[in-house]
C-alpha cells in the first residue's frame, strides 16, 4: 500500500482528508507520524505558495508522495482578510474561539448583504521518490462561497465553521451534517481533483 504524507498536524484537517479519500489503497499519515521533521515556516504570500512549500519540504525529507495543504477564509468586507492568516488571525496564541470572536468584532455593524465570504483551499502534491521541483509539483484548488453569520452556530467542524453560513442549506458548517460538508466544502472540491490526479498517477489505487 502506497503512503501519502499530509504535511499538517491539524487533526480537523486530517479527519476530513481521511474521510474524503477513504476507499483508496493509501496509507494516509501526517506530520504527527514524523516528529523529527523541522517546523515549516509558512511565509508565502498566497495559499498556493504555502501549500507548495509544505509539500516540497516534507517530500524531500520523507522521499514519499506528499500533500501540502493551505486553506483559509476570505471575507469581502474585510478586503479578503483573514486570508492566509486565518489560523493566526487573533495573534500568536490564536485559537478557533479567539479567531471567531475577532471576526465577529471586525464585522460588527456590517449588514447581511455585505457579509459575503469564501473558503479557499490549495493543495500541492509532490513525489519525494523523484526529483522535486516546481515543474513536478501539482497545484490543485477549490473554494466554497457563503456568508458570515451574526453569531456562532453549531459545534461541527473546526476553524470558522460555526460562522460560515451556506445559503443553499440555510445553516452554518458548524451545524451542517459532516457528510454533506465533505461533498460541498472548499477542501472537498480540491480533494476531488486530487482523487482524479491520483487515479491517473497511480491507477492501482
Pairing outcome for strands 171-172 and 164-166: antiparallel
Which of the residues 33, 36, 39, 70 is marked catalytic? 70
Radius of gyration of the chain (CA): 17
Look at the alpha carbons of 169, 148, 11, 43 in this order and tell me if their dihedral is positive or negative: positive
Grid cell listed for 142? 477549490
User: Measuring CA to CA, which residue among 104, 80, 77, 113 is closest to residue 162?
Assistant: 104
Residues 6+ apart with CB under 8 A from 186: 71, 118, 119, 120, 121, 142, 143, 144
Residues 6+ apart with CB under 8 A from 126: 55, 56, 58, 59, 65, 66, 68, 132, 136, 137, 138
Residue 161 annotated as catalytic: no
Active-site residue set: 70
Amino acid at each position: 500500500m502506497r503512503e501519502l504524507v499530509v504535511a499538517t498536524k491539524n487533526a480537523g484537517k486530517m479527519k476530513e482528508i481521511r474521510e474524503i479519500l477513504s476507499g483508496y489503497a493509501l496509507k494516509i499519515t501526517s506530520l504527527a507520524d514524523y516528529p523529527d521533521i523541522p517546523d515549516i515556516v509558512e511565509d508565502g504570500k498566497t495559499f498556493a505558495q504555502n501549500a507548495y512549500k509544505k509539500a516540497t519540504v516534507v517530500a524531500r525529507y520523507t522521499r514519499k508522495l506528499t500533500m501540502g495543504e493551505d486553506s483559509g477564509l476570505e471575507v469581502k468586507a474585510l478586503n479578503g482578510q483573514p486570508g492566509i492568516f486565518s489560523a493566526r488571525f487573533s495573534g500568536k496564541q490564536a485559537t478557533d474561539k479567539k479567531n471567531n470572536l475577532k471576526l465577529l468584532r471586525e464585522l460588527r455593524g456590517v449588514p447581511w448583504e455585505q457579509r459575503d465570504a469564501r473558503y479557499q483551499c490549495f493543495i500541492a502534491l509532490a513525489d519525494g521518490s523523484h526529483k522535486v521541483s516546481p515543474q513536478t509539483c501539482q497545484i490543485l484548488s477549490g473554494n466554497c462561497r457563503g456568508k458570515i453569520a451574526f453569531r456562532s452556530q453549531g459545534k461541527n467542524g473546526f476553524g470558522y465553521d460555526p460562522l460560515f453560513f451556506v445559503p443553499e442549506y440555510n445553516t452554518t458548517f458548524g451545524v451542517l451534517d459532516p457528510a454533506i460538508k465533505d461533498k460541498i466544502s472548499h477542501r472537498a472540491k480540491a480533494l476531488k481533483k486530487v482523487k482524479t490526479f491520483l487515479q491517473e498517477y497511480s491507477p492501482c489505487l
